[in-house]
Structure 1
Amino acid sequence: MSRPSLWAPKVLALIKGGNATAAIAQIKVAPTVKDLQELRKLLTGARLMQAHPNVDAATSDMIAALSSPRLHRSP
């Protein structure tokens, strides 16, 4: 049984604390698409998505990057 990830609430706390730059850095190394989707859900619920368009763009970009198939395989 796996535990729910605490990544999204921690990144949300960074954004609420006014440190959007650190949040974007964390978004760029996000563990999974599911975590990014959970963060977007939390941001929408807290009405912070419109206040931070750069965070919105970063989450959208990383969801697309993590969702797409890899262009190469490791040897």
Structure 2
Amino acid sequence: MSRQSIWATKVAALIQGGNSQAALAQIKVAPTVKDLQQLRSLLTTKGLLSKNRLVDEATADQIVALSAPRLHRSP
């Protein structure tokens, strides 16, 4: 059983408080895909994900970006 991410609850509180710009900045530097998925599920249960189109798109984009294999440059 996994615990709820502290990061996800803090970002959800930002969105619930109406500070979506700060939430978008936090979403862009999200620690893991798991945290983003927990944030999406938290926002879905509170009904906030459907109200905030930008947050919905940003979380979906970051999940894709963090899930993709990392590209690296050779020295």
1:32 aligns with 2:32: yes
How many aligned positions are there? Answer: 74
Distance 1:67 1:7 in 2: 18
In structure 2, runs of 5+ residues without a counterpart are: none
Change (3 A) 1:51 1:72: same
Superposition TM-score, scaled by structure 2 size? 0.90
State the identity as a percent.
Answer: 67
Distance 1:48 1:16 in 2: 7
Q: How does 1:8-23 map to 2 (within 5 A)?
A: 8-23=8-23
Report the alpha carbon displacement of residue 50 of structure 1 after superposing the two structures with TM: 1.1
Report the alpha carbon displacement of residue 5 of structure 1 after superposing the two structures with TM: 2.8
Change (3 A) 1:58 1:39: same
Superposition TM-score, scaled by structure 1 size? 0.90
In structure 1, runs of 5+ residues without a counterpart are: none
Residue type of the partner of 1:36?
L
Poorly superposed stretches of 4+, deviation over 4 Å: none
Report the alpha carbon displacement of residue 74 of structure 1 after superposing the two structures with TM: 7.0
